[in-house]
Amino acid sequence: MNEADLLVVMGASFSNHTGITPKIPTIQVDADPMALGRFHPVDVPVQGDIAVTARLLFDALDEADPPEDRRPEIARRWAMWRAEKARREADDRGRGLSAASVFAAMSRLVPEDAVIAVDVGNNTHSFGRYFECSRQSVLMSGYLGSIGLGYPAAMGAWCAAPELMIVCVTGDGGFGQYLGELTTAVKSGMPITHVLLNNGELGKISKEQRAGMCDVWETRLHNPGFAAYAELCGAQGIRVNGRDELKPALARALAHDGPSLVEVVQDPELV
């Protein structure tokens, strides 16, 4: 985006987390006049229906110079990113698995028609970086910050589409707020495959504290053994401590006829 000549932004909120640069001329299109320029200065605010505006802009380009083919550049950058992801997948400091290794394995094993519910925190950012979606449906909170969303959302997805495979991704902090819901999943026979990244802390909060040049304060967690807890609830529980255990554990969990939980001991620095 930073190499663009012009940004045409349609319906975006310009949240502080979005990271849209102020250095490039920007046209913002939104049906709500109060959204125009509210969070971010724009050069040309346009109030209008996005579909109608997009068609008008497209029609106006008929006489313009043909667009530059950026696909080779995108392919080059995509190859660079895949090489970087492979390097991160192999990272191992002896303190748990990297997030890249977890989501690389999930990319290979999760079916294309699965529904994946993702919680809030570093697990969400890591999922976005490393999981390669094909046709999966993804449920997430966005910028609402509703930590704990993941498992209840997965339960709702199963109720709506029990014929599909339902996968849930959470951190230890998020799932710790809704541990009791696992008994509901067991009682109702919900075959939810839950991948839990356990790093022993509220990692996203720690990261924000460091970014604000603050001391990390009160983010460490006292957790149960989540895999053992799942077994006590009547679900399948598997604990993964090393990379060689990851793929077999995920395969077992995805094949299980009932709720399953794969607790992955994760290095909090390898997100």
Q: Range(s) for CATH 3.40.50.970 in the chain?
A: 86-265
Tokens 């498992």, located at residue: 151
Alpha helices in 15-70 (DSSP H): 50-60
Tens of pLDDT, residue by residue over 58-74, are 888 877 677 789 899 99
**Residue 199 in contact with residue 266, Cβ under 8 Å?**
yes
What is 86-265's CATH superfamily? Thiamin diphosphate (ThDP)-binding fold, Pyr/PP domains (3.40.50.970)
Q: What is the mean pLDDT of the chain?
A: 91
Task: Using pLDDT thresholds of 50, 70 and 90, give the confidence band for residue 212.
Answer: confident
pTM of the model: 0.83
Confidence (pLDDT) at 142 = 77
The string over 12-35, giving b where at least 16 C-beta atoms fall within 10 Å of a residue's C-beta and e elsewhere, is eebeeeeebeeeeebbbbbeeeeb
